[in-house]
A and B are shown apart, each in its own frame.
Chain A
């Protein structure tokens, strides 16, 4: 039995039937919108210190006030506002890292997979070398030498997380370059650039999209970890990792201060991963035709 797959409409319908995709896309979509609209939807300035109202619990808890829905932190800053700005930082880090590492990794991977031989040996060596560099230690060294800053975090992650892009781009390119439609493109007189951009890239793009979601989740978690260690985004920027770090002294008395950014981090990473899984499932059925 042959089932014809209609690209576009059929794929979209199958995606919408996938619960993981719907949940993941909703989480990521909402976070993205919130991050973009942050300056307009936050009830307070996330940096405004109010030492009179410190560690006010969320409004739905005992002693909470309706003025601060998620309460305030140890400096009396509105927790909801900080959380929303934190989403902004997470999304910027995630997307910027994926773009930087995606460009580096995909370029290297396609070059290695396409040309093979010496070029491939070089790419494989770079991948192996990259895999033996511990990301956290590099971040530590960079933070020690240059101090911590938002841009540095993006650069460190973007320049170090390209390995999976390279591996996937390389292996899929190798498969596709032997297919007859690539041969046909050569015979048609197409240039190398045109074969790479029109024949190969569109056909590895879906694989790369899956990698992108994995890398985005990883980058968000790493940023949180680095900020928690004090090596990432510097205070007073409201990174979720930093919020957890600042909250850890109070967690035994007011556990919600650590729970709120912790849950936000968990939900966002879960959403990104669900999205990636759904894409991979869709790809799987796509490749079986």
Chain B
């Protein structure tokens, strides 16, 4: 493996203007705020956070679906903006959350899977056919299922189609945005196992976005925790789950309900104020919900404090 990181993100920021009325001044919503990280080739970076924390916006920027307001995305050492659409497609592919909206209902499965090959423009018909068949087989679908429409498949089968489509160009990187959240537990396990197996066999790099920490722990080698547009803690998976340093990470971990009877429902102590990306508090952005907040948190912005493999952004850790 080369030393060039599969994904490198530098100072990425994205601001949305939200118009509230015809004459009102647009409000600025900072969805992703100065995020930097790199993902070594062959590893899995898990990104966790609550809805509205900016994780999907981040994924869309890395996929080139949304231009950043500022900052750079480098895929395999090359600036995303410099890659043409075909070259980008050969490097990075997505798997989305909802297998019901991620497949065009009017096309047959084999045409959906063939789409990235066809878009390359220089692959012969026989070759396309062969590789589509290969990809379908790889994800556990039969050739007969290839001639069906998405509405004739179950949720798990649809997600397999989406994975086949992502892999047919043999990309290096796959961005999985909540790939199992819309699935039943038994199907979720099948898809997670498939993703793990494909990664091992094909040497893929995953950016794995999820709100489910148990799932992230299972697949990710490193984890980044996002809160209101920033990564507040990043570490190796084991270290992060064993000793979370940021109070938010701790709260997230505490609120995971593992199937262990008798433990009761934990008290995460976050209160009922919800984070609002249009109204980011001064100081540490987590302080209004933080059970450990003290006076300095409300006006002093915490700096990055390095840990084993990443950093944490909390005044408590600075001390």
CB distance from B287 to the nearest CB of A (A): 34
> Is B63 in contact with A187, judged by CB distance below 8 angstroms?
yes
A131 at the interface (CB under 8 A from B): no
How distant is the Cα of A189 from the Cα of B115 in the complex, in angstroms? 9
Interface string of B44-73 (1 = CB under 8 A from A): 000000000000000010011100000000
Contact of B165 among A184, A191, A194 (CB under 8 A): A184
Chain A residue contacts of B60, Cβ below 8 A: 183
Q: Least Cβ distance of B161 to chain A in Å?
A: 11
Q: How far is the CB of A184 from chain B (nearest CB, A)?
A: 6
Query: Which chain A residue lies CB-closest to B96?
Result: A180
The residue in chain B whose Cβ has the minimal distance to the Cβ of A7 is B149
B219 interface hit (Cβ, 8 Å): no
Q: Is the interface of A mostly helix, strand, loop or mixed?
A: helix
Q: Which residues of A contact B301 (CB under 8 A)?
A: none
Q: Tell me whether A188 and B105 are in contact (CB under 8 A).
A: no
- Residues from 224 to 275 in A contacting B, C-beta threshold 8 Å: none
Partner-binding segment picked from B4-12, B85-93, B209-217, B227-235: B85-93
Interface residue A190 (Cβ < 8 Å from any Cβ of B): yes
Contacts across chains A and B counted by CB atoms under 8 Å: 79
**Is A116 part of the contact surface with B, judged by Cβ < 8 Å?**
no
Assembly CA distance A174 to B97 (angstroms): 20
- A183: B residues at CB distance < 8 A: 60, 63, 65, 94, 96, 102
When the two chains form the complex, which single residue of A187, A191, A289 contacts B65, counting CB atoms closer than 8 Å? Answer: A187
**Bound Cα distance from A199 to B94, whole angstroms:** 17
With beta carbons under 8 angstroms apart, the residue of B102, B107, B119, B149 that contacts A189 is B119
Residue B101 CB within 8 A of the other chain = yes
Query: Which of chain B's residues have a CB closer than 8 A to the CB of A181?
Result: 101-104
From B93, B120, B151, A187 is in contact (CB under 8 Å) with: B93
Contact partners of A198 in chain B: CB under 8 A: 104, 107, 115
Q: Which residues of A contact B224 (CB under 8 A)?
A: none
Digitize A1-17: 1 where CB-to-B-CB distance is under 8 Å, 0 elsewhere: 00011110000000000
CB-defined contacts of B106 to chain A, threshold 8 Å: 7, 202-203
CA distance A190 to B111 in the complex (A): 13
Decide: A191 and B119 in contact? CB cutoff 8 A.
Answer: yes
Query: Which among B88, B106, B107 has the highest number of chain A CB atoms within 10 Å?
Result: B106
A4–B157 CA distance with the chains assembled, in angstroms = 13
Q: Establish whether residues A191 and B85, one from each chain, have CB atoms under 8 Å apart when the complex forms.
A: yes
B98 at the interface (CB under 8 A from A): yes
Question: Within 8 Å of chain A (Cβ to Cβ): is B74?
Answer: no
B116 at the A interface (CB under 8 A): yes
**Per a CB cutoff under 8 Å, which of A184, A191, A203 touches B105?**
A203
Contact B151 A7 (CB under 8 A): yes
A185 interfacial contact with B, CB 8 Å: yes
A146 at the interface (CB under 8 A from B): no
Contacting residues of chain B (136-178) with chain A, CB-CB under 8 angstroms: 149, 151-152, 162, 165, 169
Q: Which residues of A contact B98 (CB under 8 A)?
A: 180
Residues A186 and B151 in contact in the complex (CB < 8 Å), given A194-B119, A203-B106: no
From residue 106 to 123 of chain B, which have CB atoms closer than 8 A to chain A? 106-107, 115-116, 119-120
Do B89 and A189 have beta carbons less than 8 Å apart? yes
* In contact, B88 and A189 (Cβ under 8 angstroms): yes
- Asked whether B103 lies within 8 Å of A187 as measured between CB atoms, the reply is no
Residues on A with C-beta less than 8 A from B115 are 184-185, 188, 190, 198
The answer to whether B94 and A184 have CB atoms under 8 Å apart is yes
State A184–B113 Cα separation when bound (angstroms): 11
* A187, B104: Cβ atoms closer than 8 Å: no
Q: B94 contacts which chain A residues (CB < 8 A)?
A: 183-184, 187
For B169, list chain A residues within 8 Å (CB).
188
A52 in the interface, Cβ–Cβ < 8 Å?
no
By a CB distance below 8 angstroms, the chain B residues around A191 are 85, 119
Q: Given A7-B149, A194-B119, A199-B104, does the pair A189, B86 have CB atoms closer than 8 Å?
A: yes
A-B pairs with beta carbons under 8 Å apart, 13 shown: A5-B151, A7-B106, A183-B102, A184-B96, A184-B165, A187-B64, A188-B115, A188-B119, A189-B86, A189-B90, A189-B116, A190-B85, A198-B104
Query: Which residues of B are interface residues toward A (Cβ below 8 A)?
Result: 60, 63-65, 85-86, 88-90, 92-94, 96-98, 101-107, 115-116, 119-120, 149, 151-152, 162, 165, 169
Beyond the given A183-B63, A184-B96, A198-B115, please list 11 additional residue pairs across the A-B interface where CB-CB is below 8 A. A4-B152, A180-B97, A181-B102, A181-B103, A186-B64, A187-B64, A187-B65, A187-B89, A188-B89, A189-B119, A191-B85
